[in-house]
Amino acid sequence: MHLARFPRRRYTNAPTPIEAMPRLGAAIGANVFIKRDDLTGLASGGNKTRKLEFLVADAMAQGADTVITVGAVQSNHARLTLAAAAKEGLKCRLILEERVPGSYKPDASGNNFLFNLLGVESVSVVKLGDDLQAAMEAVAADLKKLGRKGYIIPGGGSNALGSLGYVACFEEMNGQLFDMGLKIDRIVLASGSAGTHAGMLVGAAGCSVDIPIIGVNVRRPRPEQEGNVFALAEKCAALAGIRGELRRQDVVCRDEWVGPGYSLPTPEMVEAVQMTARNEAILLDPVYTGKAMAGLIGMARKKEFGAKENILFLHTGGAPALYAYQNILEGR
Ligand SMILES: *Cc1c(COP(=O)(O)O)cnc(C)c1O
C-alpha cells in the first residue's frame, strides 16, 4: 500500500494506544484488548477523525471554504467534521437527519451542545427518508450564490477516500501488535456507515493479514450491511491500489445487538457501557460502541471465542453522546 501519495492533514498524536482489558475479560471469560481510537485528536475524538484527515485535505486542495455534511441528531461525525473545520479555519454547515421522529431537540446536551460550542454556521433538520445528497447539494448551491465554495462530505465520512483513514489505522495497529509481540485472533468493531469496517478489511488485505474482523451492526440487517461494507471496501481497495484479495466471505456483520433500531437503547448496551466503565474506566457510547461491546460480551458468553484467543475491540469513540442518554443509563 502506498497511502503517502494522498493529501492528508494530521489530527492525532498517533499511534493510539492498545491496552489490555483484564478485569472486563475476567468478568466475561475472554482475553480482551482495546485499541483506543476514542483518543484520536479533534474535540473529544473518535473514528471520524481518521477519515477527516483525508477528506478535509481534499476539501482544502480543492479550494473549499466550507464543509457540508449530514448526520443523526447526536452525530459524532457532525461534531468532528465541524471540529476539523474550526481547526482549519473553514466554515461548516450541518444537516441533521431525524432518524427517530421527534428526536431533534435544539437544546439537547451531548454532541448537539458541542455543535453550538464549536461554532457551526448553520444546522438544518430533515426527516428520515429525505434525499440527503440533494439536501447537501442545495446547501452547496446556496454557498455558490454567495461566491463561496462548499465541499460535501457524505454521512459518516464513508466514501472510498474517507475509508483510507481506517486502512491507515490497520497498518498502524499491525505495526503496534508486532512491536508488542501480541497475537490478535479476532477484531470486533461497530459497523455503521461502513467506512471503518471497509477500511479495516482493505488494510488487512493490503497487509496480507488474515485476522477475522467481526462487525457488529448498529442499524441495518445483516445482508444489507454486509453488502454495503463489501461494496465500499471494493471502491476503497481500488483507490488504495492494494494487491491483496478482498473476499465477500470475509465481510461479517452481526445484527443480533441492534435492538429496536438505530440509536434506540437496549439492556445489553446499558450493561456493556456500565461494565466497561466499572471494570476498565473506559467510556463507551450508547449508539455504537455500547452495542458493539454488547456483541463482544454476547459472543464471549456464547463461547464463540476459543479459550486461548485474543480479541481486540476497536473503540471508535462517541462518549459525548452519553450526556444525552443520562436517564437511560441511570435506569430512569
Ligand atoms: C460513526 C461511528 C461508528 C461507526 O463507524 P462507521 O465508519 O460509520 O461504520 C462507530 N462508533 C462511533 C462512536 C461512531 O461515531
% of the chain surpassing 70 pLDDT: 100
List all residues 6 or more positions away from 260 whose beta carbon is below 8 Å from its beta carbon: 266
Grid-cell match 466550507, residue found: 66
Whether the per-residue pLDDT at 332 is higher than 90: the answer is: no
Site residues for ligand 1, CB cut-off 6 Å: 46-47, 76-77, 156, 158, 190-197, 285, 288-289, 316-318
Cα 148 to averaged position of ligand 1 atoms, centre (Å)? 30
How many whole angstroms from 47 Cα to the centroid of ligand 1? 6
Distance CA 323, CA 332 (A): 14
Mutation probe of ligand 1 site: the residue of 288, 289, 296 with most atoms within 8 A of C-beta: 288
For residue 147, how far is its CA from the centre of ligand 1 (angstroms)?
34
Asked whether the bond before 286 is cis by omega within 30 degrees of 0, the reply is no
In 3D space, the residue among 184, 179, 167, 181 whose CA is nearest the CA of residue 33 turns out to be 184
- 68 and 151 in contact (C-beta within 8 Å)? yes
Radius of gyration of the chain (CA): 19
End-to-end Cα spacing for the chain: 50
Longest dimension (CA), the chain: 62
Choosing from 75, 158, 163, 191, the catalytic residue is 75
Phi-psi region of 314 (alpha: psi -120 to 50; beta: other; left: phi over 0): beta
Cα(9)–Cα(4) distance, integer angstroms: 11
Count CB neighbours of 20 within 10 A. 14
Q: Of all atoms in ligand 1, which is nearest to the CA of residue 316? A: 11
At 137, list the grid cell. Answer: 447539494
pLDDT at 2 over 90: no
Q: Tell the CATH topology of 3-47+159-329.
A: Rossmann fold (3.40.50)
List Cβ neighbours of 284 (8 Å cut-off, separation of 6 or more). Answer: 272, 273, 276, 277, 290, 293, 315, 318, 319
Question: How far apart, in whole angstroms, are the C-alpha atoms of residue 271 and residue 122?
Answer: 36
* pLDDT value at 314 more than 90: yes
> Mean pLDDT in the chain?
97
pLDDT tier at 29, thresholds 50, 70, 90: very high
Please give the average per-residue pLDDT across 107-125, as a whole number: 97
Average pLDDT in the 63-88 region?
98
Cis geometry, peptide bond prior to residue 15 (ω within 30 degrees of 0): yes
Q: Cα–Cα–Cα angle for 140, 144, 148, nearest 5°?
A: 100
Spatial distance between the Cα atoms of 202 and 235, rounded to a whole number of angstroms: 10
Count of Cβ atoms closer than 10 Å to residue 168 Cβ: 23
Mean predicted confidence (pLDDT) in 315-319: 98
Q: What is the pLDDT of residue 331?
A: 86
Query: Of 17, 32, 20, 19, whose CA–CA distance to 297 is shortest?
Result: 32
CA distance 37 to 16: 6
Pairwise CA distance, residues 82 & 43, whole Å = 9
Answer whether residue 1 shows pLDDT above 90: no
Report the nearest atom of ligand 1 relative to the CA of 197.
Answer: 9
Name which of 253, 199, 292, 267 is nearest 284 in CA terms: 292
Ligand 1 center from residue 76 Cα (angstroms) = 8
pLDDT digit string, tens, across residues 163-213: 999 999 999 999 999 999 999 999 999 999 999 999 999 999 999 999 999
Res. 243 pLDDT band, cuts 50 70 90: confident
The rounded distance, in Å, linking the Cα atoms of 34 and 189 is 10
Catalytic (active site) residue 193 = no
User: Mean pLDDT over residues 254-277, rounded?
Assistant: 98
Q: Hey, which of 196, 213, 315 would you mutate to test ligand 1's pocket, going by the most ligand atoms within 8 Å of its Cβ?
A: 196
What mean pLDDT do residues 310-328 have?
96
Tell me the mean pLDDT in the region 135-143: 98
Residues 46, 40 contacting (CB under 8 angstroms):
yes
Distance from residue 196's CA to the centre of ligand 1 (Å): 7
pLDDT tens sequence across 144-160 = 999 999 999 999 999 99
Whether 34 has a pLDDT exceeding 90, the answer reads: yes
Which fold, 48-157?
Rossmann fold (3.40.50)
pTM reported for the whole predicted model: 0.98
- pLDDT on residue 244: 80
CATH 3.40.50.1100 in the chain, residue ranges: 3-47+159-329, 48-157
- Per the CB < 8 A criterion, the answer to whether 167 and 201 are in contact is no
Which atom of ligand 1 lies at the shortest distance from residue 189's CA?
Answer: 10
Q: Which atom of ligand 1 is least distant from the CA of 196?
A: 7
* Residue of 37, 47, 52, 323 to test ligand 1 pocket, by largest number of atoms within 8 Å of CB: 47
Percent share of the chain, pLDDT over 90: 96
Q: DSSP alpha helices (H): ranges in 183-266?
A: 195-206, 222-240
**Structure letter (DSSP) for residue 36:** E
